[in-house]
Structure 1
Amino acid sequence: MAAVTRWCKRFCKTDWLPTLQLIRHGSKAVTRHWRPMHFVRQKLMEVTKYIPPKPLIPERCIKPQVKQVEEENGYVKLLRRDVEQAFHESKMIAICQYNEVPANDMVLMGYRLRKYNIHVKYFPNEVMIPFLSESKYKNLLPLFVGRNLLLMSPETRAQEMLRVLRGVPQINLLGACVDNTILSKQGFTNYAKLPSMVTAQGEVVGALSLMTSQTSTLLQRGPVHLTSLLDQYVKQQNCESVEAKETGTLD
């Protein structure tokens, strides 16, 4: 320390001060330490704490609640657009319960349905429920509880769809909508048993042609009967005239 002091004095004589100065600070005496409050005093402070009176009208009744409008995700908007387009273009929509199905069976089922122009689609319930609640298909909402598959087709291929679904027991039919008519599972099964449109048209044409033939027969029955009666009357008159001539010649 003495050497440092002598070194500083020697340089100070030449009007030069060092940039580094050694200053020693003494330790400060801490006389007050934090002490915890006594338990009795804590109880007293809690008891005597000021409690402001509650307002007569709750604040939530005075100030209206502001609902935060969350912006939809772009992917959700795309799915909703696809749902609207699929429902607009499809005449037959079947809702099925989707259980665990092997991947190979699922691919094979989709291939078999695609041959009849029936497409398999999956949309999450977060997209289907808002769409159905604002559309004319709102009565289908009770069917969308778990994971569902939608079988859509621009044609009414009910028989073919049921034939393919029989080979996949893990997928259960819940209901359907055919030509804007909501059907249950049993109603859709009964609808599939109906004949096709071509067969029904043939049956209607056959029934109409039968009715027209019967009508023509009934209309012709009267004149034919009248004609036969007139012929019989003419024959009877001729026979009477012949008999009268024979009796006149004999006399």
Structure 2
Amino acid sequence: MAALCGRLLSRRGWLPSQQIVRHGSKAVTRHRKPMHIHRQKLLAVTQYIAPKPAIPERCIKPRKRVVQEPTSLEKLLQRDVEMTFRENKMITVFQNNSITSDELRLLRHRLMKHDIRMKFFPNQVLRSYLADTKYKNLLPLFIGHNIMIVSKEPKAKELLQTVRSTTQISLLGACIEDALFSRQGVVNYSRLPGMQIIRGEVVGGLTLMTSQTCQLLQTGPARLAVLLERYLKQQNEAATGPKEGENLEQKEMQGSQAS
């Protein structure tokens, strides 16, 4: 039967569309062996760890800050700050240590008697103004709650005497006549004498110098005159000395003859 079918198929030229081929497949029995525990520890210990940079990346690459335009209120406050620094010769910065409103009102009233005023500005506005001015060294003082006490004339002595009884505020620094002072510098400045006393001392020193200069100029001619007088006197004595000796001898001889 099989031979007959093979003949028929070979004659007609027909071939089957599918052929079944058997392959010898083998089961996978070899698997990767797990790493030994000692080898795992050795690899973990000897694993390369890259050194960390000495300077953090956040310090090398600063963050990009978005520049915001100041509001109308901030512009108004900046204008007020600029006017305050321009019109006042003494600008002091105090730290506010939770002073009460009543004590603050009383202190303001005492300062007004000496024509000294208190100013309150946000630190953000002050720092933005001082960054591009000659007062930029005052920036470290404006941290936290601060009080600015200003006056048109340098009155450090009156200021310290008024603030002495108020312990809730402490002096940090000051700018007096475009010069920066620390707390001890302000204390030393307040101990200086007044302008009238200083002017009197300056005038006294100048007059003393002029008098000494006049004495020095007169000493030379006076000494020269004294020396010339002595020289003339010596010349006169040298010229009249022999004649006086002869007269004395003649008088002595006359006296001996008479006796």
Shared fold, TM over 0.5: yes
Instruction: Indicate the larger mover: 224-233 or 153-162.
Output: 224-233
Letter paired with 1:90: N
Instruction: Indicate the larger mover: 232-241 or 168-177.
Output: 232-241
How many corresponding residue pairs?
186
Q: 1:145 to 1:66 in 2, by over 3 A?
A: closer
Matching residue of 2:210: 212
Cα distance in 2 between the residues matched to 1:239 and 1:134 = 86
Q: 1:227 to 1:68 in 2, by over 3 A?
A: closer
Which runs of 5 or more structure 2 residues have no equivalent in the other structure?
Answer: 1-63, 251-259
1:245 is matched with which residue: 217, 233, 243?
243
1:226 is matched with which residue: 212, 218, 224?
224
2:183 is matched with which residue: 182, 185, 188?
185
Q: 1:101 Cα deviation (Å)?
A: 2.5
Q: 1:2-45: per-residue Cα shift (whole Å, max 9, x none)? A: xxxxxxxxxxxxxxxxxxxxxxxxxxxxxxxxxxxxxxxxxxxx
Q: 1:144 to 1:68 in 2, by over 3 A?
A: closer
Q: 1:187 to 1:71 in 2, by over 3 A?
A: closer
**TM-score, scaled relative to structure 1:** 0.66
Q: 1:66 Cα deviation (Å)?
A: 11
The answer to whether residue 162 in structure 2 is matched with residue 176 in structure 1 is: no
Cα distance in 1 between the residues matched to 2:220 and 2:170 = 62
Instruction: Provide the secondary structure at the position in 1 that maps to 2:173.
Output: strand
Q: 1:70 to 1:244 in 2, by over 3 A?
A: closer
Q: 1:245 to 1:71 in 2, by over 3 A?
A: closer
Matching residue of 1:199: 197
Instruction: Indicate the larger mover: 132-141 or 237-246.
Output: 237-246
Q: 1:169 Cα deviation (Å)?
A: 1.6
Matching residue of 2:123: 125
Q: 1:67 to 1:206 in 2, by over 3 A?
A: closer
Matching residue of 2:134: 136
**TM-score, scaled relative to structure 2:** 0.64
Cα distance in 2 between the residues matched to 1:177 and 1:189 = 13
Instruction: Provide the secondary structure at the position in 1 that maps to 2:172.
Output: strand
Letter paired with 2:133: S
Cα distance in 1 between the residues matched to 2:226 and 2:148 = 70
Structure with greater Cα Rg: 2
Q: 1:70 to 1:96 in 2, by over 3 A?
A: same
Cα distance in 2 between the residues matched to 1:103 and 1:210 = 55
Instruction: Indicate the larger mover: 159-168 or 188-197.
Output: 188-197
Q: 1:102-151: per-residue Cα shift (whole Å, max 9, x none)? A: 44432332222222221111112232222222333222111111110001
Letter paired with 1:83: V
Q: 1:228 Cα deviation (Å)?
A: 1.9
Q: 1:68 to 1:126 in 2, by over 3 A?
A: closer
Matching residue of 2:12: none
Percent sequence identity is 46
Q: 1:198 Cα deviation (Å)?
A: 2.8
Q: 1:48-105: per-residue Cα shift (whole Å, max 9, x none)? A: xxxxxxxxxxxxxxxxx99584661x33332222111111111110000012224443
Q: 1:217 to 1:67 in 2, by over 3 A?
A: closer
Q: 1:169 to 1:198 in 2, by over 3 A?
A: same
Q: 1:239 Cα deviation (Å)?
A: 4.2
Cα distance in 1 between the residues matched to 2:235 and 2:67 = 107
Q: 1:68 to 1:82 in 2, by over 3 A?
A: closer
Q: 1:190 Cα deviation (Å)?
A: 2.0
Matching residue of 1:77: 75
Matching residue of 1:94: 92
1:110 is matched with which residue: 85, 108, 111?
108
